[in-house]
Structure 1
Amino acid sequence: MSRKQYIDENTITAPLLALLGIAEELFAEQGYAGTTIRQIAGAAKVNSATVNYYFGSKEALYNLIFTLRLQELSKAMDTVHFCTENLDKFEMFLNQYISHIQSYKNFHKLLLREYSLLSSQELDSSIISRHIFDNLKLLQQIVTGHQSSGSNLKIDITLFCVNVIVLTPRLVLENRSPFNLIDVLEGTESKLPIIQRIKKYFYSQLCD
């Protein structure tokens, strides 16, 4: 399968990656409009001119965060192709996706925010389409392959795939939120960890 060409991450130095991480956290906490270059520079203990020199603008910095994080996600998803069975591929897909969400919580907050917007003045939408849509297609192929192998699946494959992509980060991130909708319904008593519940929920739809 032909895959996209990746940006060489080696061209971005460790200090710049650290700066991107700081900016990512501030954008996640305060939103794009509420975050300034001055704040990013202050948190990184550099001057504003340094941030502008390396990234050009706040908008370019924001777009670079999305480019790098989605590139990392797509690289992780490339490992799914090494599995031979469709259910194994689905398990690997979920594992890689959840691992990325847990590793980059701030980014996935930003991504969920972008999903909810009717339009974005700051983000080049093609950045999302080049990566997320590829992962949606991969998931669709996995589920379609499972259905073609003799499974008695009676699900809407498109809605199932979109649900995996959008619901999974929502549940993982919400797990530590004071507005946890699961706790609203069930209270805070001991229960199956959210990651296991996510996997069990999606597997129950795929398995006969």
Structure 2
Amino acid sequence: MNLLLLQPEDLGADSNHITLSDARAAHIRNVLRAATGDTLKIGLLNGLTGNAVITAMSDSGISLQFELHTPPPAKLPLTLLLALPRPKMARRIIRAATELGVAEIILLNSYRVEKSYWQSPLVGDETLHKAMQEGLEQAGDTLLPKLRRATRFKPFAEDELPSLLNDKLGLLAHPYSDQGPPQSVTQNCLLAIGPEGGFIPYECEKLIAAGLQSFSLGPRILKTETAVSSLIGRLFL
């Protein structure tokens, strides 16, 4: 945890003082091994970042005096269109995308996405919201990515995707494309990454017809978890 993330409901009448008694207090005590008088980096969810000084510590809680004054790091100009990963992998992938600064994540259905994945609690709102908050704490960020689901591929590709691509560069990561990746992307971008095994030919055709340009990183076929970090790093960082 590189940033202590406060929730809006944490703030009381005295907006510059707070006492924590939950997992964050345990982290301060047991992982950071902080003591009274130490300074921590702090941020308000979807708000500013700043610093906090530990004013008291006891078995019942940790008291902080804090000041919020600095905007969080800028998001990447990126919408990640991601075929829903296997539930056990989804949490790690969403957390990594948040750490890297993705502004919006759209989870997309695909032929190779098992129907049961959508019903798993591992891809439920609560689990993925917690994963995104962990990504924020790691990256020193406070702004949650927008997260939504597109559970029907064809209506999304035909009816929604073309309008989403207005003023955006549309990219489709596909291991069998003949084109290499663009370099140092600076404009708003939508990047589509398929499931394990990739999008099927029909889906690639629909995505390209909507305005995406396919490209490949080379002959190696990567797992989704590896592909997300590698592609974002290659294109933006």
The interval holding the TM-score normalised by the smaller chain is under 0.3
Q: Please, what TM-score do these two structures have when normalized by structure 2?
A: 0.24
Q: Please, what TM-score do these two structures have when normalized by structure 1?
A: 0.26
Which structure dedicates a bigger proportion of its chain to helix? 1
- Which structure: larger Rg? 2
